[in-house]
Chains A and B, each alone.
Chain A
């Protein structure tokens, strides 16, 4: 392993000279019409990454920094964000990377150019189906009737919400160039990232607003995040055989 600073790589973009007003003073290493955005980072900064506090710990700080560089480039050029923690073995390695992955990277960059990523999350927390009605003063049959009614009400609400959520997703897919479903923690019904052409963003958000009203009425909440650089739409492995 080399000594001295690490060359952290943040994103692949077009090979156009730019300066970015962002913390770690990134620079561009070019190959043909592509460039990779890198900066020198002291390896010591990664030391405590596994003892983090997720709020203001090392990892949070480095992740925000990574995101800030990607965004700074994204303000003027299309980007392919690189996975956090991509550390290159010097400038020659950066050029080798672009040479080895040139066709793949160029195609992918063309695909995402002119688009931004938006996240849509629908939350719906239902009352726990496992709680039971208070049995005091009820006959066995009354108890079971009540329990069944409660479960049916929960199920009806669930059907209302999932119905509206399905219609929202269908409407958004029509506006978006691509979509990716993401992991859904408990209570999250929909967690999807959409790749939207900038000229269609107004229509996209109009659809979100339209269905958000219906979903709110049914007891769910709709959260939008973005615009993001196309993080969720650059699921490629550079340098791996393209026919894989």
Chain B
């Protein structure tokens, strides 16, 4: 089969975004809140570099990228346009 590629992007995607989370109310962890804040700052600070590497998995997340919907909208407009009859043209024999 094709070589698998466990890229840094794949690792970050899993390590930062997945895994068991510990509820704050059992009082065992020290810095979860601070790290969470750092994580969000990090995404914003490095978004440009990361996108260049193809690590742009959060760009469709409305929290980080409110413009994500626009691309989808453009694609839908193009699709609808394709269905329109050509003005002044004859009916397509189909």
Chain A positions near chain B (C-beta within 8 angstroms): 1-2, 6, 12, 46, 49-55, 59-60, 63-64, 66-67, 80-89, 93-94, 96-97, 100-101, 105, 108, 119, 129-130, 140-141, 144-145, 147-148, 151-152, 154-155, 182-186, 191, 205, 208-209, 212, 222-226, 228, 231-232, 234-240
Residues of chain A lying within 8 A (CB to CB) of residue B87: 140-141, 144
The verdict on A129 contacting B75 (CB below 8 Å), with A85-B39, A88-B29 known, is yes
Give the residue of B16, B42, B59 whose beta carbon is less than 8 angstroms from that of A185: B59
Question: What's the Cα separation between A148 and B82 when bound, in Å?
Answer: 5
Give the residue of B41, B46, B57, B60 whose beta carbon is less than 8 angstroms from that of A54: B46
Within 8 A of A (CB), among B21-62: 21-23, 25-32, 35-36, 38-39, 41-42, 45-46, 49-50, 53-61
Residues of chain A lying within 8 A (CB to CB) of residue B91: none
Give the residue of A46, A80, A141 whose beta carbon is less than 8 angstroms from that of B88: A141
Residues of chain A lying within 8 A (CB to CB) of residue B14: 67, 81, 228, 231-232
Residues of chain B lying within 8 A (CB to CB) of residue A46: 31, 35, 38
Q: B22–A145 contact, CB under 8 A?
A: no
Q: B38–A49 contact, CB under 8 A?
A: yes
Chain B positions near chain A (C-beta within 8 angstroms): 1-2, 4-8, 10-16, 18-23, 25-32, 35-36, 38-39, 41-42, 45-46, 49-50, 53-61, 71, 74-75, 78-79, 81-82, 84, 86-89
Q: B20–A182 contact, CB under 8 A?
A: no
Give the residue of A86, A224, A240 whose beta carbon is less than 8 angstroms from that of B32: A86
Residues of chain A lying within 8 A (CB to CB) of residue B18: 81, 83, 231-232, 234-235
Residues of chain A lying within 8 A (CB to CB) of residue B13: 182-183
Residues of chain A lying within 8 A (CB to CB) of residue B4: 223-226
Q: B78–A93 contact, CB under 8 A?
A: no
Residues of chain A lying within 8 A (CB to CB) of residue B22: 82-83, 86, 97, 101, 237-239
Q: B20–A6 contact, CB under 8 A?
A: no
Residues of chain A lying within 8 A (CB to CB) of residue B6: 225-226, 228
The verdict on A183 contacting B82 (CB below 8 Å), with A97-B26, A225-B5 known, is no
Residues of chain B lying within 8 A (CB to CB) of residue A50: 38, 41-42, 45
B27: min CB distance to chain A, Å: 8
